[in-house]
Structure formats: C-alpha cells, structure tokens
Structure 1
Amino acid sequence: MKQSQPLLTIVVPCYNEEEVLEETAKQLTSVLDDLTAEELISSESKILFVDDGSRDRTWSLIAMESTKNDYVTGLKLARNVGHQKALLAGLEKAKDKSDCVVSIDADLQDDVSVIRDFILHYHEGCEIVYGVRRCRKTDTFFKRTTALGFYRFMNKLGINLVYNHADYRLMSKRALEELSRFKEANLFLRGIIPMIGFKWTEVIYDRKERFAGETKYPLKKMLSFAFDGITSFSVAPIRFITSLGFFLFFLSVIAGAYALIQKTLGYTNAGWTSLIISIWLIGGLQLMGIGMIGEYIGKIFMEVKGRPKYAIDIDLYSERLGHFQHDETDMLMEERFI
C-alpha cells in the first residue's frame, strides 16, 4: 500500500492550445479538488502545463491561470521540441517533487474522471497505470484501420505496446526514476515505458471528441511518429531490405540461367521493356535500401551528439514550490505575460 496522501502532479503538454486551456485547467482543478476531499492525494498536488514553444496565447493563459489557481503551474520551453520531448520535460521536472505523475493531453479527449481510478490503483501498489481507449468510434475509418495495423505490426516486430494507449497514464516516482535512465534522443515513450516493468494495470475509458481547436497530429505527423517508433525499437526494416536483396539476387540467377539457355538454343530477342523495368526495379530498391540505412545512421548521429532534448525558458513549477528561477520577482511577473 502507498502512503495515504501522495503528492500528485498532472503533466499537460501544450502546443497552441489557447482555445481549450482554460477549460482544461477548470476540469483538472475539479478532479484535484475531489481527490483532495477524499484524502486520496495531498492538497499540495499540482497541474503542470508545459508550453512547447506555442505561437499563440497559450503561455500567457498558463501564467495568468497560475496567479489565481493554486494548483496550476507552468513550464515554458525555449522552443518547439515536439510532443514527446515536451512531455518528458514535464515528467522530469515533476519527478523529484511528486510521489506520482499523471500525463494527459490538453485537448480533453481523454476522460479526466478516470484519474481517480489511476490513483486507486496506485494506492493498491501499481507503479504504472495505462489509460486505454475502449474503442475508436470517434476516429475516421482510415485512422482506425491504420492504427490497428500499426499496433499489430509493432507486436509482430516484438515491440511491446499497450493496445489503444497513447500518453494518458500514471507513473510512480520509482517508475519515473527508471524512465530517466533511458537516454535516447529519439523518444517513443509508448514503447519505452512498457520496457520499465514494475507492477502495472490498465484503466478502460471512452475517448471524447476534441473540446476545441485542431488536432496537432495530422496524417503526415502520424506517419512520421509511427516510422520513428518502428526504427527506434527494431532493425526489422533493414533486415527486410536485406532479405529482399537476397530474393532478387536468386531471382536474377534464375533469370540469367534462363537467358543463357535461350541464347544457347538461339531463341534470344531484343527485350527493351524487360531491361528498362529491371533497371528501374533494381535502382528503386537500391535507393530504398540506402534510404533505410541512412535513416538508422541519422538516428545514430542524433544519439552520439548527446545534445539536450529541450531548454527551459521559464519555470513556474519550481517557483511555486519555493525555488525562484530569477533573481528579481518583478522580472518574472513581466515575463509571464510575454
């Protein structure tokens, strides 16, 4: 059993979420009020909004909300680094001061009421609790089909993903400590976190329509995210290219033997079409193979440089806990609304 009143931090990565942010703060505040009243969490629990270099009023709204809501704090990143790195920034910032952390997107598609179930499972000893969608009725047919294919493909590659789970989860302090030991720059948290182990469970919920604003994951980003997940955890694509290369080699040996026999028997004819098709086929496969190898080399290049994943511009979370990040309070108050 966990301690009776753990300090919970809800981490919410945000990118251009001005249309939904106030409602998100309102609903999450209500959840924390209810959990505090039930004595399931500490009254010192927080909501940490992570502004991932937004170009709208997202940060101004976070800073303003923090002045009137004791739960709300903020972390402003110096530039846009992407959802996964922004989420990691929030998790790492909350790790030292929290007993457990819940991560949730700002769009309110995930049912905030099941955070209570997360906490109950945490009290029962679970270190990780995954929020899992009951179904995908709100998705288009294309998105539903491609998502199902992606999960099945990843499982066949031996990559352990929780089906229909995104980034809505609870992690204990111990699980976050283990996560901090993973140093790769190419982040795919949905694949990394199941590798941690520890006692875990799932909470099933119904996903809602987006409260306001537009999705930050159009088709192009979804495909890029899926490809990053595959190449970050498996060398299967390179092995596929190698296998295809061997297959075409043996096929060319058979074709060469056939051509030699035809020439010996005097049946040869000029074959411009077959020649051009062969050249295009082999050339295309070579370029595909080189591109696939280049993708992995590029990932190695990013890893060995060891550059920081993000830079923090303003840290209201530490300030709220009594550790000011700026020497002059007036300067901080001025920067809040920039």
Structure 2
Amino acid sequence: MKRLFNRVNNLKLKKRLEESDEQRTTLSFYKYHQLEDPQAFRDQLYLQLSECEVLGRIYVAHEGINGQMSVPTEQFEAFKTTLYSIPWLDGARLNIAVEKEGKSFFKLTIKVREKIVADGLNDASFDVTKRGKHLRAPEVNALLDDPETIVVDMRNHYESEVGYFERAIRPDVETFRKALLLVEDLLKEDRDKNIVMYCTGGIRCEKASAYYLHKGFDNVFMVDGGIIEYAHQCEQQGLPNKFIGKNFVFDERIGERISEEVVAHCHQCGKICDNYKNCSNDACHVLFIQCEECAVKCQACCSKECADFSQLPAEEQENLKGTMEFNGARFGKGRYRALIKKNQQ
C-alpha cells in the first residue's frame, strides 16, 4: 500500500532540499468546487502529486481546493497533465512565483479542512458564485489612476507591511475573517464607489467580493490572479507596476520582490528593511522583520533571551522549554517590536 503521508523527519527533508541543486518551479492555484468526499479526493491527489515529486501545502474542503507548491521544473508539464486530468481542475490558473527561487517547500502536505480559506462566513446565506469583476493589469492601473477609486488590501497586517498597492486601505488585522468585517464597516458610506480589492493570488477576494455584493456594494472589482498575476502581466506588457515593495508568501521564501522600493523597517532597530524571518530559537519562532546587522548582533534571534537560549545544549533547551516564555507566545505574527520600543524609553 502506498503511503498517503510524509514519514521523514522535517529537518532531514529541509536539509535535503537546501543541498539539492535541482531546479524547481514555485506556484499556487485554487478552485472553488463542490466536493462530496474531500477525504477521498485528498488521498487520491496525494498519490498523484507524489508521482510528480510535488512539495507543498494544499487544503481541500467541500468548497474546493487551495494549494501552494513547488514542482521539479523538468516535471512541470507532467504535473500540469496530472492536475488537468481532474475534470473540474482542467484549465485552472497556475500562479507561477514572481521570483525564480524554487526552494519554497520541503515536503508535501495535503489537509482536509472545513474551508479552503478560513473566513467565518455562512456560505448558505449568500450566493458565493456571484463574484466581483476580475481586472487585468491594464484595467487595474486605469482604475487606480482614478482618485475616486477605493483600493482595499484583503490580506493581513504583516503581509501588507512589506508591500502594497498605492493608496490602499490596509486593515490592521491578523486574519481574513477580521478583515472582512472591518472593511465592510470602513466602507459602509461608500457602497456606490468603485472598490478594487486584492490579495496574494486572488482566492480571498473571490469570497470577499461575493460577500460585499451581497451586502449591497454596487461596484466591486478584484485584481485577477492577485499580486502574483498582476506583476507578471505588468512585466509582460510593459505596464507601470503600481505595487510597491514585496509580496508576502506563505512558504520558506516568506517574500518575493515585486518592486525595488523597501517600505518596511527592522522590528529591532528601525532601519529600512523588509526581510521577514522566524526567530531561530525554535521554542519561540516568532515572525518578525530583521536587518542583517541585527541578525548578526542577535544571532538571527528576536531577542538576547532567545539568542542565549539557542546556545544551550539541546538537552538543556528541552528541559527548560516548559519553564520559559518567549516572544512567539506573547506576540502575533509581525507584532513583535523589540529594540525600537526600548530605544524610545
């Protein structure tokens, strides 16, 4: 019987990927579709994608599929053939990463979830198929040139901190669920204006646009394929790129550069920087922005406490884990501000 889950130690898998010189292509895709048996579909998909040596993270639910992955470049066409052999996925748009670095995932994980994106909505209360209009890059730019257009970032605060569209409303939230309600409240007096929404690859805006149309917003638009596809279209068509900074991605790369501007700051010293990383103390693992100088000073950790802890023998670290509290338990993603606050005191 073939295995339906990875059984190899994560550290070994990560080391194997880092040492490999194999060329891989990073991509994402999603599709809303009613699945009667998500678990059976998940198991079959795992077997099919394993044959193509796919690595990545995929969520399957009754409402469809949402996947981010990397594929050996030599097997990309075989992967497409496999994916498109599934009738309801035939022709699904594959959002190829803007940056060419393919070392984005080190194992294949496919999970069955209640929803492919946690939104907190009751889908039975509105028609999720009546979505906003998709905009190609030229249409996006034309609407953004209109000062009356409202631009909304449907991502979380730590995503928009390192990159965003010009003039965008950027909700200070940590979940899509909270963004939906906050944006609805912020725009309650602007229901008749043109509203352009965007996210990483388009999936969050698919649901959000249907929800806002249901709530009485008249002119709801979304960037077709999200930031990733917009950047590709601008490059291919020689169009002005109105996205500033980096696109946050949920894989080992953490971010891919869309424009040369750097709009964020190191969470430790305040220097201009947009390099997200997780604290190298695995007992903490808090996500924060750190410049190279602070990385050297703090040994790639978020604090001196974590740096000191990470230098202890492994056995001693294991014994102390339950007795110490680190920033990963105190702060949400991107919320940690260490030396900046101390320097202001």
Q: Which structure is larger by alpha-carbon Rg, 1 or 2?
A: 1
**TM-score interval, smaller chain:** under 0.3
TM-score by length of 1: 0.22
Taking structure 2 as the reference length, the TM-score comes to 0.22
**Higher RCO (Cα < 8 Å, 6 or more apart):** 1
Write 1 or 2 for the structure with the bigger share of strand: 2
Higher helix residue share: 1
